[in-house]
Structure 1
Amino acid sequence: MNARDLCLGFALIALSSVAVAEPGCRPLVERPWVRAAPPGAAALAGYLVLRNPCDAVVEVVDVESLDFGAPMIHRTEEIDGISRMREAGRLVLAPGESLAFEPGGLHLMLMKPLRPLSEGDVVRIRLVLADGRRLYAEYPVRREAPVP
């Protein structure tokens, strides 16, 4: 083995180490949609399934949108027979876990639409992760949930 072969071997080992150490796995936003609301509505609700196919825990800490002035993540809870919405706080997904945002439960509360929205429009929403990454998806405005 000569010096050139040795250097090439070290370079290949270094490249393979980088490929293994580099986190390329991203959580997946599946079946996103926003429920259509009457014209002039001050808030809409968004739904999706968030799936974590990665080997590491994923934490969702916020939501952003260019189409709403105040997007939030809420959870509907029943307390003493009364249904109330509360901010959900941090959402933690273990490896392999999925989290459904659905009517009557966890959902995106999309306050202050910045433009009129009707069925067939598409809104842009990003989930913000604790590590600073953002999961962008386009959410069609629909009357009914998409069929899985």
Structure 2
Amino acid sequence: MKSAALPLLLAGLLLAGGAHANDAAHIRASHAWIRVLPGALPAGAYVTLENDGNQPVALRGASSSVYAEVMLHRSSREGGVSRMAMVDALNVPAHGKAELAPAGYHLMLMRPHAPVKPGDTVTLTLQFGDGSTLATDFVARPANAMDAGDDHATPAMDHDAMPHGH
């Protein structure tokens, strides 16, 4: 069994490092943020993924040097009951986008190695179906936050606000 897996692994590594565009090369991540909860409660990570490629791309999960465990989850509400389930993948359609957002798909971040506070930046490495990865900076936001706080929903600029660094 091992001898069959090794060539596949090597082929995957060659593809990921070669001239062929990999899944991650077609993905642009934006509005990346983490909702930090008090104490040892798991945090949720959210991001918008845009795929400029001709093929769908599967987000398979993520990893982090800050959190011991990162899992892809989907929240849903059925008959007045909120549920959360682990999922294997989230497809980002060709020339389309997928959003990880509160009450939907999200990355569940568990067991931080050190406290994460609002304002901190945490790098999560997004992992795609072909084995390629995309390191993405997520901004930690307080427990009551509903979005990335980068005002992407409103075109008006609040001149009293701190610069967003775009």
TM-score normalised over the length of structure 2: 0.71
Contact 2:72 2:89 in 1 (8 A): no
The residue number in structure 2 matching 1:49 is 48
The equivalent of 1:26 in structure 2 is 26
Which residue in 1 is equivalent to 2:85? 86
Equivalenced residues, count:
127
Q: 1:37: Cα distance to partner?
A: 2.0
Question: What one-letter code is carried by the residue in structure 2 that aligns with 1:102?
Answer: A
Letter of the aligned partner of 1:29 in structure 2? A
How far residue 97 of structure 1 moved from its aligned partner, in angstroms, is 1.3
Work out the percentage of aligned pairs sharing the same amino acid: 28
SS of the residue 2:84 aligns to? strand
The amino acid that maps onto 1:23 is A
Q: Tell me, which stretches of 5 or more residues in structure 2 are unaligned? A: 1-18, 153-166
Report SS of the residue matched to 1:37.
coil
CA distance in 1, matches of 2:99, 2:125: 16
What is the CA RMSD across the aligned residues, in angstroms?
Answer: 1.6
Q: 127-136 vs 89-98, which deviates more?
A: 89-98
| 1:80 to partner: Cα distance | 3.2
Per-residue CA deviations over 1:2-52 (Å, capped at 9, x if unaligned) read xxxxxxxxxxxxxxxxxxx832742011110001322x2331011110110
**Structure 1 regions of 5+ residues with no counterpart?**
1-20
User: Whose strand fraction is larger, Structure 1's or Structure 2's?
Assistant: 1
Cα separation, 1, equivalents of 2:56 and 2:105: 19
Q: How far does residue 55 in structure 1 lie from its aligned partner after superposition?
A: 1.7
Partner of 2:126: 127
Q: Distance in 2 between matches of 1:127 and 1:93?
A: 13
Alpha-carbon separation, structure 1, partners of 2:94 and 2:74 = 22
Structure 2 Cα separation of the partners of residues 41 and 110 of structure 1: 10
Equivalent pair of 1:42/1:113 in contact (CA under 8 Å): no
* Of 44-53 and 88-97, the range deviating more from structure 2: 88-97
1:49 aligned counterpart, secondary structure: strand
Letter matched to residue 31 of structure 1: H
Matches of 1:36 and 1:112, distance apart in 2: 12
Q: Does residue 1:36 correspond to 2:9, yes or no? A: no
Contact 2:123 2:135 in 1 (8 A): yes
Whether the 8 Å CA contact 2:33–2:138 is kept in 1: the answer is: yes
Residues 61 and 107 in structure 2, CA contact (< 8 A), matched pair in contact too: no
Q: What TM-score results when the alignment is normalised by the length of structure 1?
A: 0.79
